[in-house]
Structure 1
Amino acid sequence: MKARIDHKGLFACFERDLSDPTGDAVNVEISAVAWNGHRLVFGSDKNVPGDHRSPVFALDIDDQAAPVAESLSYYTAGLITSAEKYEDFALTDGGDYLIATTGFDRVDRQTADQDVYNRLLIWPCGEPDRVQLIADRDNDGVLSSLGLREDLASALGAPYFKVEGLSSVPGEAGGDPLLLFGVREVGQSHEDFSYVAQVVAAPYRVDAEGMLAFTGLFELVYEFEPAAWPGVRFEVGLSSLEYDPATQRLYFLTSFEVDDGQGGDRLGAYLWALSFDDFHAGRAPVLVADDTGEPLEFANKAEGLAVLADGRLFVVYDPDRVLALEADHHRDAREPHEAPYTVLSIVEHG
C-alpha cells in the first residue's frame, strides 16, 4: 500500500505575534484533528491564552482540503478550555458526536492540580457548548475523568501510561461499539517507560442526552512492535489512531523525536494501515510506502490524522518549537502561530 502526497501547507491557529503572560511567543503544537462531517476540528497539547481563544478550534476546508483562515472559530466552553494536553479526537459510531481525550499521563495523589490532564469529553458535532464530561469526578472542585486511569492501568498492567490515540469502531456481532485508546508510553513512571503501539478497547453507548457510558471492561486488544520492520529507522511510539468506516480500515501514526547529533532534535513519523478483520485477528499492520516503494517517513512529528469525506487523509503535526520545514514546502520555515499539514491519497496497488 502506498500514499501519494497531494499537497503540503500551513494554516494559522491564532494571530501572529500572540504572546503568553511571560511575554514569550505562543507556539502552536497541534496534537489532534477530526473531520466532523462539515469542518476540521483541531486540538493543541498546549494552551492558547485569551478568554476568547481555546486549545480546540475548527476550520472549514476548500476543494484542495486546505484550511480556510477566515473560518477559524474557537471552542470556548469551560470544560474544553480548562483541560490540559489534548491528544486525539474520535467520532462516535454514526458520526453524531465528537469525543476528545487528554493524555491521562499526569496525576498527583496529594492534590487535584493535575486532574485536568485526565479528561474524556463528548459533545454533539458542531455544538461544542453542549460538552459533557465522561466518567465525571469532582476533586476539590476540579472536574476530571480521573477514574478512567484505573481502568486503563488495569488493562495495561502498569501504573504509568500515555494516551495519544482515540477512535470508535463497530462492535462485534452487533454488540456495542468500542472506544479504542491508542497508547504511546507504558511503564512505572514518566521517567521509567517504554514507547509502545498498543490499543485498549472498551464498549460504550451514548444515551439520548448525549452522555457516553462504558458498558464493559477495558481490555488490551491489540499491539505491534514497529521496530520489527526493517524500514523503521528510529524508536517510535503511537501518536494517533483513526478508523475509516468507508474502507473498514484503521490507520496508525507512530512518531519519533531523537537527538540529531547537532544539539537539536530530529522529528518524524510513519503511517500504518490495518484492515478491521486483521485488527480483530491480531495480525500485523501494513507500513505504508511512498511513491518509490520505500516506507513513507514524514519529516515532522505527525500527531493527528483525519479521514476526509473523499477518503483522503489529513495529517497534522506537532513540531514542538522547531520552525524549519522540510525541503518540499513552499517556505523554508513556519511562524510560531502556524501549523504544518499534509494531505495524502492512499493508493491500494501499484
Structure 2
Amino acid sequence: MTRARVLAHGTLHCFPIGLRDAQGNPVNAEVSAVVHDGERLILASDKPIPGEERSAVFAVDVDGEGRPDEASLVYFTQPLIKQATKYEDFALTADGRHVLATTGFDRIAEDSHALNAYNHLLIWPLGNPDAVSVVDPDPRDGVEGSLELRAKLDAAIGTPYYKIEGLAAIPGERGDGLLLFGVREQGKHHDNFEYVCRVVGAHYRVSAAGNLTFVDELRSLYRFDPERFEAVRHVCGLSSLEYDPYNHRLYLLTSFETEQDGVERIGGYLWVMSLDDFTAGREPQLVGDESGAALEFEHKAEGLAVLDAARLFVAYDNDRHLGLGAIDARDERHASEAPYTVLAMDA
C-alpha cells in the first residue's frame, strides 16, 4: 500500500478579507485547481474574484516545507484568463513546457453564446501567461470558447449533461501526449445526474507556435467505482487528475458532499496507479494513512499538485463551509482563505 503522511496544514488568503462583489455579496475562496510549474503553485477558484487587478487564477511561491507564501501572490489578469469561468483543474503538458487550464464545461446556452465562458480549455507557455490561447475554438471569428472541444466531449461522454473536474497530460505512445479529462458528473440534467469517476481523452500535439491540436478522436479511456472499496464510506465523484512525472504514475482525487443523519459531510480520498494499470483499465490503489487505514480527507479535496518526487499539495474547495477542523486551531476560516495540506508519499 502507498501511504501518505501529513507534513503541514494551513490556509492561504486568496484575496483581501471582506472582499465583496458588485452586488455587495461576500466573495468566498473556492480553490478547485492547482498545479506546480517547477517553481511556484498556480491556483484557481471556481468562482470569480472581482477587481480589475484580480482574477480567479493566481500564483504563489512555496517555501521549503511546501507551504504557499501568500506575500508572493500574483494574479493572472490576461483577458482570456479573466474571461473563462469556473476553473476546475490545471495540468502541465507531458513535456512540461506548457500549462493547461480547464473549466467545468457543465453548462451551455442552446440559443446564444451567453454561457461560453464555462467552456474553455486554455494553454500558455510555462512562465508566460501573456501568451495564453484558447484550445479548439469555434471556427467562426469572434465566437469565444472551446466550442469545438465541447462538441467532442459531448460525443465521447454521451450524456446531455456532464461536468469536467480533472485534467492531466501523460506521455503518448507515438511521441506525442495523451490528454485526459476527468468526468465527475454525468446525466440528463444538472439536477438529474450521477457521480462518476471516468476519464475521456485523446492524443495531442503542441505546435511551435504553442497551439494544441488533437490528433485522434476523443474517446472513453477509463472508469472505476470507488464504492467497490470497503474503506470508502461515501458516494464520490472524481475531483482532480495529476500526472507524477517523477514516478511515472497517475494520481486521482475523489471528493464527496453528502448528508448523513441530517448532517452535511464533505471530504475526499486519494488514489494512485501506474500508467500501465491505467492503460489496462485496472482499479487504482486507495492511498492509506500512516496506520494503513484509508486516508480520508476531512475537507472537500478538489485540487492536487505534485511538488516533487515525494510530496503532494492538496487544495480544498469547501464551498460555503467555513469550519477548519484539524487544519487550524481556529474554529472557522475567513471567506478569503483556502485550506490546504502538504503530504509526503511513502511507498
**Pair in the same fold by TM > 0.5:** yes
Q: Deviations over 1:100-128 (max 9, x none)?
A: 00001101111111111000000011111
Counterpart for residue 243 of structure 2: 243
Give the TM-score normalised by the residue count of structure 1. Answer: 0.96
Whether the aligned pair in 1 keeps the contact of 2:250 and 2:274 (CA below 8 Å) is: yes
The alignment partner of 2:278 has SS state of helix
CA RMSD between the two structures: 1.4
Counterpart for residue 149 of structure 2: 148
Task: In structure 2, give the amino acid aligned to 1:26.
Answer: V
Counterpart for residue 345 of structure 1: 344
Q: Deviations over 1:216-259 (max 9, x none)?
A: 11111111001100111111100000010111110000000012
Kindly tell me the number of residue pairs found equivalent between the two proteins: 346
Could you tell me how far 1:327 is from its partner in structure 2?
3.2
The alignment partner of 1:280 has SS state of helix
Could you tell me how far 1:330 is from its partner in structure 2?
3.2
The alignment partner of 1:196 has SS state of strand
Cα distance in structure 2, aligned partners of 1:128 and 1:330: 37
Q: Deviations over 1:76-106 (max 9, x none)?
A: 0111001110000010121110000000110
Task: In structure 2, give the amino acid aligned to 1:329.
Answer: D
Cα distance in structure 1, aligned partners of 2:154 and 2:287: 31
Cα distance in structure 1, aligned partners of 2:196 and 2:116: 24
Could you tell me how far 1:147 is from its partner in structure 2?
1.8
Could you tell me how far 1:141 is from its partner in structure 2?
4.3
Unaligned runs of 5+ in 2: none
Counterpart for residue 215 of structure 2: 215
Q: Deviations over 1:139-184 (max 9, x none)?
A: 7944100221221121122221110000000012x34210000110
Whether the aligned pair in 2 keeps the contact of 1:116 and 1:142 (CA below 8 Å) is: no
Could you tell me how far 1:265 is from its partner in structure 2?
2.4
Counterpart for residue 295 of structure 1: 294
Counterpart for residue 171 of structure 2: 170
Task: In structure 2, give the amino acid aligned to 1:224.
Answer: F
Whether the aligned pair in 2 keeps the contact of 1:138 and 1:144 (CA below 8 Å) is: no
Whether the aligned pair in 1 keeps the contact of 2:327 and 2:339 (CA below 8 Å) is: no
Counterpart for residue 182 of structure 1: 182
Counterpart for residue 227 of structure 1: 227
The alignment partner of 1:152 has SS state of helix
Counterpart for residue 124 of structure 2: 123
Counterpart for residue 12 of structure 1: 13
Could you tell me how far 1:311 is from its partner in structure 2?
2.9
Could you tell me how far 1:260 is from its partner in structure 2?
4.4
Note if 1:193 corresponds to 2:197: no
Cα distance in structure 1, aligned partners of 2:327 and 2:246: 31
Task: In structure 2, give the amino acid aligned to 1:244.
Answer: D
Could you tell me how far 1:309 is from its partner in structure 2?
2.7
Decide whether aligned partners of structure 1 residues 10 and 56 sit closer, same or farther in structure 2, where only a CA change above 3 A counts: same
My pick for the range that moved more, 26-35 or 287-296, is 287-296
Could you tell me how far 1:295 is from its partner in structure 2?
0.8
My pick for the range that moved more, 33-42 or 15-24, is 15-24
My pick for the range that moved more, 146-155 or 47-56, is 146-155
The alignment partner of 2:114 has SS state of coil
Whether the aligned pair in 1 keeps the contact of 2:253 and 2:270 (CA below 8 Å) is: yes
Percent identity over the alignment is 52
Decide whether aligned partners of structure 1 residues 140 and 321 sit closer, same or farther in structure 2, where only a CA change above 3 A counts: farther
The alignment partner of 2:117 has SS state of helix
Whether the aligned pair in 2 keeps the contact of 1:250 and 1:276 (CA below 8 Å) is: yes
Cα distance in structure 2, aligned partners of 1:110 and 1:257: 32
Q: Deviations over 1:171-207 (max 9, x none)?
A: 12x3421000011011122122111001111110111
Note if 1:254 corresponds to 2:236: no
Cα distance in structure 2, aligned partners of 1:80 and 1:158: 28
Note if 1:330 corresponds to 2:323: no
Whether the aligned pair in 1 keeps the contact of 2:246 and 2:309 (CA below 8 Å) is: no
Counterpart for residue 305 of structure 1: 304
Task: In structure 1, give the amino acid aligned to 2:314.
Answer: V
Spell out structure 1 runs of 4+ moving beyond 6 A.
none
Whether the aligned pair in 2 keeps the contact of 1:119 and 1:145 (CA below 8 Å) is: yes
Whether the aligned pair in 2 keeps the contact of 1:62 and 1:68 (CA below 8 Å) is: yes
Whether the aligned pair in 1 keeps the contact of 2:137 and 2:149 (CA below 8 Å) is: no
My pick for the range that moved more, 205-214 or 305-314, is 305-314
Cα distance in structure 1, aligned partners of 2:307 and 2:39: 10
Could you tell me how far 1:21 is from its partner in structure 2?
1.3
Decide whether aligned partners of structure 1 residues 138 and 265 sit closer, same or farther in structure 2, where only a CA change above 3 A counts: farther
Q: Deviations over 1:293-327 (max 9, x none)?
A: 11111001000000003430000010101111113
Task: In structure 2, give the amino acid aligned to 1:290.
Answer: D
Whether the aligned pair in 2 keeps the contact of 1:112 and 1:139 (CA below 8 Å) is: no
Cα distance in structure 1, aligned partners of 2:10 and 2:143: 38
Task: In structure 2, give the amino acid aligned to 1:68.
Answer: D
1:51-70 pair list within 5 angstroms: 51-70=52-71
Unaligned runs of 5+ in 1: none
The alignment partner of 1:327 has SS state of helix
Task: In structure 1, give the amino acid aligned to 2:338.
Answer: A
The alignment partner of 2:81 has SS state of helix
Task: In structure 1, give the amino acid aligned to 2:322.
Answer: L
